[in-house]
Amino acid sequence: MAIPRIGVFICHCGTNIGGVVNVPEVVEYAKGLPYVVHAEANLYTCSEEGISSIKNNIKEHNLNRVVVASCTPRTHQPLFRNACADAGLNPYLFEFVNIREHCSWIHMQNRREATEKAKELVKMGVAKARWLEAQEEFESEVYPAAMVIGGGVAGMSAALNLANQGFEVHLVEKEPELGGRLLNLNRLFPINKAPDELVESIVKAVESHSKIKLHMPAVVKAASGYIGNFDVSIDEDGQETSFKVGVIIVATGAQVLKPELYRYGKLANVLTHLDLEQRLKDGELGEFQNVVMINCVGARIPERPYCSRLCCMTAIKNAALMKEINPEAKVYVLHRDLMTYGVEFEEYYRKAKEAGVRFIRYTPSKPPKVVGTKKVKSVKVYDELMDMEVELPCDLLVLATPLIPNDDNEELSRMLKVPIGDGGFFLEAHVKLRPVEFATDGIYVAGTCRWPADIRESVAQGYAAASEAAIPLRQGLVKVEAITATVDPRICKGCGTCVLVCPFDAIELKESKIRGLEGKIVAEVNAALCKGCGLCAAACPNRAIQQRGFTDVQLLSMVNALSGKR
């Protein structure tokens, strides 16, 4: 290893760091650390100015290690690694020190100690950097096919998009029919059309597409592998089928809550909107004169705090339809906040009001009460505006209940190793900027399995997931971050501990082919399967297996630096 020449770049982040940590003092301190040949402060190291300073200094000072002390590697590591690469330095010779999230932002009242802590963090980073080694990323080919799980609108949109881009798509739907939730609807908001024809045209396009292989009714039984190379096996109508795909899109949808409120299921004239739509579709609704609809049934309550996003529009849609069917009918919508966001929903709401639908706002502390023993006769509600309880005659009570996660989310989550978050919906990689990606590469999420969404949002997410999935498919090659495990076969005693702890079956005991070690049984890592967790490295008794980027010597150096040892 060449003698380390470490450059340290310390970011003010405007005042985010500089306002708390005495950055110039940290710079001076860094200059005195072993192997540091250059240290400087930047207003924003992530700005083009900061980046070019890194590049220039790599050249000027012949740096062979770079340490940036700024924010979090979780967002900025790729940027600085790329800067190193641009300047001809292997990107793995870069080390990140977090002095913002882990220092300045959490010690705003204690500048002295924050500065001391920042120094120590930099010292630890430099200690690790001294032992960094250049790494080559493992490259693997992407199998040019996708699996889309779920044949609702989100899944079908994703499948069609990828198929039209020329990729083979396996569409796996658990029901015997495509269309998902839409099939149960009577009309769609805000266009007020029946879904049948609209869905049919999409279903036809999917079914007739030469690139789409439809598996129906089918469920995913097992999935293993990694981006570019997933082995999937499904149960298709009782038969096991296996295939290979490069990417996976999860678009499994959600279900509608059947509430245990307002005597639903006990009184015949209490329906959910889904029940109502089914009856309308089947022409089985019958006569009605006084319709009351209650929103937020089972939603926005402590045990289910979220807003299901689309129930308000569903209620408005059906309320207006009730008026349309029977203009003489009295139709009330009892709501909390009315979530008619955007342009069209607001208009939709206005039109329903104009059509004579009455909207009454109730407060959760005084919820509506159902009157009647065999059937609902009336609904009592405290009207906030009138400041009094009103009793509304009712021969049809319709409840707007939220979308809730599918029961099989957890199983799928375990199988694909993707997380479930708030309320049991799938958790995306970043709620703001990576809404349709999972943290696991090569697996994407769209539609209501991620969060309640209406049709256009689900379709957009389907397309968006297809867009992210098309990237590796089109690139044809993915690179794996070089933090995978490596074995020193000279030291490995072939005990197999690493094999036992590896969650990904990435390690095997094999006869060595290395000269001088022929025939010795040693552990061998399949870089394509290794996900870089480092479990093996911690378990190996003689440390013959190491995780790149997190080696023993690197971690130990940090510990020693922190405790003032060399």
Partner 1 sequence: MKLPDTKEVQTEFKPKILAFCCNWCAYAGADLAGVSRFQMPTNVRVIRVMCSGRVPPELVIRALANGLDGVMILGCHPGECHYSEGNYLTRRRAHVLKRLLSYIGIEPDRFQLRWVSAAEGAKFSAVVKEAADKITALGPNRWGDKR
Partner 2 sequence: MAKKSVLVIGGGIAGIQSALDLANMGFQVYLVEKTPSIGGRMSQLDKTFPTNDCSMCILAPKMIEAGRHPNIKLLTYSEVEEVAGDPGKFRVKIRKKARSVDEEKCTGCGVCMQKCPYKTDSEFQVGLAKRKAAYITFPQAVPNVATIDPDICIYIKSEGKKCGACIKFCDAGAIDFSQQDRIIEVEVGSIILATGFDLYDPSGLEEYGYGKIKNVITAMQFERMISASGPSGGQLQRPSDGKAPKNLAFIQCVGSRDTRHKLYCSSVCCMHATKEAILASEHYPDLKAFIFYTDMRAVGKRFQEYIARAEQEYKVTYIRSRPSEITENPDNGNPIVWYEETTARNRTSMEVDMVVLCQAMVPSGEQKKLSEMLNLKLNAYQFVDIPDRLFHPVDTEIPGVFACGFCQAPQDIPDSVVQASAAAARAAEFMSKEK
Partner 3 sequence: MKATSEEVKTSVKKLFEDGSIGHFIGYEMGSDSLRVTPCFLKSGQAASRLVWNPLCANNLSKYLLDFGKVEGKVGIMVKGCDSRSVVELLKEHQIDRDKVFIVGVPCSGIVDREKLLAVLGVSPGEVVAVEDDGDAFLVTIKEGTRRVKKEQVLRGECLVCRYPTPVIYDMLIGEAVSSLPWVGDDYSSVKELEALSSEEKERYWSSELSRCIRCYACRNICPVCTCVECIFDKKAPRWLSKASDVSENLVYHLVRAFHVAGRCVDCGECERACPMHIPLRSLNKKVEKDILELFGYTAGIDVEQQPPLTTYQAGDLDEFL
We find the least distance from the C-beta atom of residue 456 to partner 3, in angstroms, to be 40
Part of the chain binding partner 3 (CB under 8 A), chosen from 42-50, 62-70, 290-298, 496-504: 496-504
- Residue 121 sits in the site that holds partner 1 (CB under 8 A): yes
Phi, psi of 74 (to 5 degrees): -65, -25
Closer of 72 and 201 to partner 1 (Cβ)? 72
- Residue 114 sits in the site that holds partner 1 (CB under 8 A): yes
Per partner kind, with CB cut-offs from 5 to 8 A, the member of partner 1, partner 3, partner 2, none near residue 82 is partner 2
| CB crowding 372-388: b at 16 or more within 10 Å, else e | beeebbbbebbbeeeee
- Residue 192 sits in the site that holds partner 2 (CB under 8 A): no
Part of the chain binding partner 2 (CB under 8 A), chosen from 241-249, 372-380, 427-435, 558-566: 427-435
∠ CA 500-137-233, rounded to 5°: 50
Rounded to 10°, the helix 552-562/111-129 angle is 150
- Residue 367 sits in the site that holds partner 3 (CB under 8 A): no
Q: Please identify which residue in the block is written with the tokens 């794996």.
A: 480
Rounded CA-CA distance 247/476 in Å is 11
Contacts of 213 (CB under 8 A, 6+ apart): 168, 169, 170, 171
- Residue 417 sits in the site that holds partner 3 (CB under 8 A): no
Per partner kind, with CB cut-offs from 5 to 8 A, the member of partner 3, partner 2, partner 1, none near residue 532 is partner 1
- Residue 483 sits in the site that holds partner 3 (CB under 8 A): no
- For 438-452, the DSSP string reads -SSTTEEE-GGGTS-
Strands (E), 456-501: 477-480, 485-487
Residue of 202, 322, 449, 487 interacting with partner 2 (CB under 8 A): 202
- Residue 162 sits in the site that holds partner 1 (CB under 8 A): no
Residue of 79, 216, 420, 501 interacting with partner 3 (CB under 8 A): 501
User: What residues between 37 and 76 interact with partner 1 by CB under 8 A?
Assistant: 72-74
Closer of 306 and 504 to partner 2 (Cβ)? 306
Question: Taking every pair of C-alpha atoms in the chain, what is the biggest distance, in angstroms?
Answer: 94
Residue of 464, 480, 485, 487 interacting with partner 2 (CB under 8 A): 464
Q: What is the radius of gyration, based on Cα positions, of the chain?
A: 30
* Cβ pair 179, 513 in contact under 8 A: no
Instruction: Quickly count: other Cβ atoms within 10 Å of residue 238's Cβ.
Output: 7
Per partner kind, with CB cut-offs from 5 to 8 A, the member of partner 1, partner 2, partner 3, none near residue 46 is partner 2
Binding site for partner 1 (CB under 8 A): 72-74, 98, 100-102, 105-110, 113-114, 116-117, 120-121, 124, 414, 417, 419, 421, 439-440, 483, 501, 503-504, 531-535, 537-539, 547, 550, 552, 555-556, 558-560, 562-565
